């Protein structure tokens, strides 16, 4: 896998616009001492999955047991019966501030029929609602995508990035038993899962492999069933830190029986709690691309910058020379850290966790040459992730 050091976090200009328009609000992150609130989105404009009702009721039961309250947006729509007894009276996607009451928002297979990519076709969220959702995520909100959450809003590229690396539902074979393999056993949503998890479900093929952009949690072993089209590397569950928020996706869960399976429900609860900010661990869904973006944005420290400005005021020529020298040293250090991250990712891709950890530790030491706590924290997340893989 070739790393893309120059790749930046998606949509930085759009983030700035959202901030300037006051669209970003801070969601109600969960903590151990008080209840929090989540939103389940089941509204359906296209094919309605039968599991939506089971999913909604299962999440409500999880909330009653684990300390969160649940709002539901699932009105009757066309041929979709929705859940009129539970649904909110109108769309909650009004403003980022209104959505900020939710610690995370769960998309429970809300198919809208936009997979024909017709821009005129009605979609789950209109432009105003998408803007509110973007502001919520960019303010630190959480997103949980379940099963056909990758089969909605096909005409909104931003949503495809939120769900994970642009991967969208393509097709699926007949429901059958297959084996999922836990790739990261130390994340809060995968702790306690069997390393080889055999289940009966509907197994999705996706339009692209999202691995380059997301932190893969589970893969699907295509040798254990028929109809897979993604080859030896078939991610099925993944997560990411996205535009200031947290995103988590699980592609299984089509069968109604999934939502009474205690192992599956514990997995889903882990995703809810991680996106809500209640738990952390296993590297917190860090990716090498994410650290690339942080490194690319690291500038001269405030102390160095202040010293240069002081010299510039007294002697512009000397100040310019000092700035040039400082920037040259800074660029050299960035290159050294990037080199160690490159080596670590190559080792990680080859399954050499010990080699990856060794290179990451070197990057961490070099990182102390920057006045940037975020970079140091993200490199530490990479180390924790690789240590978890090493067992």
**pLDDT per residue as tens digits for the range 131-180:** 999 999 999 999 999 999 999 999 999 999 999 999 999 999 999 999 99
Q: Fold for 12-275, please state it.
A: Rossmann fold (3.40.50)
Spatial separation of the C-alpha atoms in residues 190 and 284, rounded to whole Å = 12
| Greater model confidence, 98 or 8 | 98
CA 347 from chain center: how many Å?
A: 23
**pLDDT per residue as tens digits for the range 75-120:** 999 899 999 999 999 999 999 999 999 999 999 999 999 999 999 9
Q: What percent of the chain has pLDDT over 90?
A: 90
Spatial separation of the C-alpha atoms in residues 131 and 154, rounded to whole Å = 16
CA 122 from chain center: how many Å?
A: 26
- pTM of structure: 0.90
Name 107's bridge partners: 41, 145
Q: What pLDDT does residue 351 have?
A: 92
What are the phi and psi torsion angles at 22 (to 5°)? Answer: 75, 25
Spatial separation of the C-alpha atoms in residues 4 and 215, rounded to whole Å = 16
Residues 6+ apart with CB under 8 A from 382: 283, 286, 288, 291, 344, 360
Spatial separation of the C-alpha atoms in residues 378 and 156, rounded to whole Å = 29
| Of the candidate ranges 2-16, 166-180, 227-241, 369-383, the one whose mean pLDDT is the lowest | 2-16
pLDDT interval class at 219 (50, 70, 90): very high
Give the start-to-end residue ranges of the domains of the chain: 12-275, 288-390
Q: What pLDDT does residue 10 have?
A: 34
Spell out a b/e string for 150-168, using b for 16 or more CB atoms within 10 Å of the CB, else e. bbbbbbbebbbbbbbbbbb
């Amino acid at each position: 896998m070739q790393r893309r050091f120059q790749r930046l976090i998606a949509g930085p200009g759009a983030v700035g616009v959202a901030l300037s328009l006051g669209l970003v609000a801070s969601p109600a992150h969960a903590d151990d001492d008080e209840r929090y609130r989540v939103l389940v989105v089941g509204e359906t404009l296209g094919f309605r999955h039968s599991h939506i009702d089971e999913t909604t009721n299962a999440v409500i039961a999880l909330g009653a047991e684990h300390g969160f309250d649940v709002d539901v947006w699932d009105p009757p729509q066309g041929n979709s019966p929705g859940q009129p007894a539970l649904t909110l009276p109108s769309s909650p996607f009004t403003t980022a501030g209104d959505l900020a009451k939710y610690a995370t928002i769960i998309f429970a297979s809300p198919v809208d029929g936009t997979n024909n990519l017709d821009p005129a076709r009605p979609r789950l969220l209109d432009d105003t609602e998408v803007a509110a959702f973007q502001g919520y995520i960019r303010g630190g909100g959480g997103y949980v995508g379940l099963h056909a959450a990758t089969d909605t809003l096909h005409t909104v590229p931003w949503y495809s990035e939120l769900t994970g690396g642009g991967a969208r539902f393509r097709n699926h074979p007949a429901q059958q038993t297959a084996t999922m393999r836990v790739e990261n056993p130390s994340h809060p949503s995968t702790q306690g899962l069997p390393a080889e998890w055999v289940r009966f479900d509907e197994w999705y093929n996706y339009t692209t492999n999202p691995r380059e952009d997301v932190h893969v949690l589970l893969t699907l072993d295509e040798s254990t069933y028929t109809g897979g089209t993604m080859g030896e590397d078939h991610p099925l569950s993944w997560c990411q830190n996205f535009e200031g928020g947290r995103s988590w996706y699980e592609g299984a869960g089509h069968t109604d029986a999934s939502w009474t399976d205690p192992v599956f429900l514990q997995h889903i609860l882990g995703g809810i709690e991680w996106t809500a900010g209640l738990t952390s661990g296993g590297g917190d869904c860090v990716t090498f691309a994410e650290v690339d973006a942080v490194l690319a944005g690291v500038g001269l420290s405030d102390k160095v910058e202040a010293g240069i400005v002081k010299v510039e005021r007294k002697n512009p020529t000397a100040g310019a020379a000092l700035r040039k020298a400082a920037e040259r040293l800074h660029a050299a250090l960035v290159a050294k850290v990037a080199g160690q991250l490159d080596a670590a990712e190559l080792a990680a891709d080859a399954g050499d966790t010990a080699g990856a950890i060794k290179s990451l530790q070197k990057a961490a030491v070099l990182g102390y040459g920057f006045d940037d706590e975020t970079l140091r924290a993200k490199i530490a997340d990479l180390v924790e992730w690789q240590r978890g893989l090493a067992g």
